[in-house]
Amino acid sequence: MVGKALRERATTGRSRRVHPVNPVVGGYVQELRRSGLLLVAAAFASLIAVNLVTLAVGPSEVLAELNASPLGAPLAPLVFDSWGTIGGLGGMVLLFAPVLFATPVSQRRELSLFFIASTIGVGELAGLLWDWTYDTSGRFGSGSSGIAVTGLGIIFALSAFGLLRLVRQDTRQLGALSSHWWYSFALIDLTLILTSLWFILSLEPIFVPTTLYNWRVHEFGFLFGAAAATAFAGAKWSDLGLDGVLRIDETLMNFHFDDLCARFPTRLPKYHVAFRRTEGAEPAEFSPERGEIWVDSRFRGREYGTDGGDFERALLHAMVHAELLAEGRALEQGRPDDRRRFEEIAEQVGAPPEP
């Protein structure tokens, strides 16, 4: 497709280099919205807000009212107990974000919803279990720290499965940038695993012989949260890429775009690569006005080991059009020297010739 810049060349005889129009603010923001991370942030912000409301009213007064009602038990964990708990609830969003974005795109929103439901649900269950099994005071235990530690248990388990996915898929073979991100995510997963263990074993040890609320609720929350994450991973094993099969999605396309840029004579601007039903016979199209490259939707979810060659050639074909534009050319105008230049670049980078 041509667009405004290429139409201008047809009428004026000149070409104008087109840069992407904030692809990060465009395509990547859409991926952020689809991921569900904003829902996670809203859920934990709501928990923090409820804690702060109870602080303003007075935690003792709120607990007295809750203990006077048989329905007070599930609400007691929402009562403010410390500023450390508030920081822990906010920190869960930050710790969950890299785990989420290392997950295949198609599973991110579902993982976000699972994280919200299981963190709050298991955290509440941990508090109720303490009330039923260890409480001898006759008063409900309070504080959201059990919910925060449950979230930590879930993140711990998801990080372990994320590391397993990296080992089994090993995207380092795709190129230098994919290799960089592989090592980055591996380092993030290892850091989350080790710091989680450091927190529960040393900084705030939870496995101590006592029946007090904080220790037992934290222990229940962490272990049951990790178990819930394990069950989720088991149910979604292949969808999460844990079977070792590398599937084509938005993350792979955008990382591999950076890998393929190294083949081109001119360093291309950063274009956002997205799936879209393309027009005509071309399996990929370049849209300079949108700052995007569109790969036909038929490649979505396909196995890279089987269809990776066709996908890469389609992406390269669109990237050659981007290279021509970077050089001030426009193949769509039909000039023979532009077509010859296209063929030169295509042969150099491994793209199919223009039909």
Confidence check: pLDDT of 5 > 50: no
Q: Are residues 82 and 152 in the same domain?
A: yes
As a whole number, mean pLDDT of residues 9-19 equals 39
Instruction: Indicate the residue among 235, 267, 300 that finishes a domain.
Output: 235
Q: Is residue 27 part of a domain?
A: no
Q: Is residue 101 part of a domain?
A: yes
**Looking at residue 99, what is its pLDDT?**
97
Q: Residue 137 has what DSSP assignment?
A: S
Confidence check: pLDDT of 138 > 60: yes
Task: Say if residue 56 is exposed, middle or buried (CB neighbours under 10 Å; 0-12, 13-18, 19+).
Answer: exposed
**Looking at residue 332, what is its pLDDT?**
64
Q: Are residues 254 and 227 in the same domain?
A: no
**Looking at residue 327, what is its pLDDT?**
83
Cα dist. 280→183, 277, 284, 293, 355 in Å? 39, 10, 10, 15, 12
Among 267, 236, 7, 289, which Cα is nearest to 110's?
A: 236
Q: Are residues 260 and 230 in the same domain?
A: no
Instruction: Indicate the residue among 235, 269, 292 that finishes a domain.
Output: 235
**Looking at residue 49, what is its pLDDT?**
97
Q: What is the tens place of the pLDDT at every residue in 192-218?
A: 999 999 999 998 888 888 777 878 899
> What span, in angstroms and rounded, lies between the C-alpha atoms of 38 and 249?
21
Q: Are residues 316 and 284 in the same domain?
A: yes
Q: Is residue 199 part of a domain?
A: yes
Instruction: Indicate the residue among 202, 235, 268 that finishes a domain.
Output: 235
Confidence check: pLDDT of 18 > 70: no
Confidence check: pLDDT of 130 > 50: yes
Q: Are residues 215 and 81 in the same domain?
A: yes
Q: Is residue 26 part of a domain?
A: no
Q: Is residue 240 part of a domain?
A: no
Among 109, 108, 60, 55, which Cα is nearest to 85's?
A: 55
Range of the domain at 144: 38-235
Q: Are residues 212 and 89 in the same domain?
A: yes
Place 2 in a pLDDT band, splitting at 50, 70 and 90.
very low
Q: How many CA atoms are closer than 13 Å to the CA of 169, on its beta-carbon side?
A: 31
Q: For the chain, how many structural domains are there in total?
A: 2
Quote the mean pLDDT of the chain: 87
Q: Is residue 9 part of a domain?
A: yes
The two tokens of residue 120 are 């709050």
**Looking at residue 14, what is its pLDDT?**
38
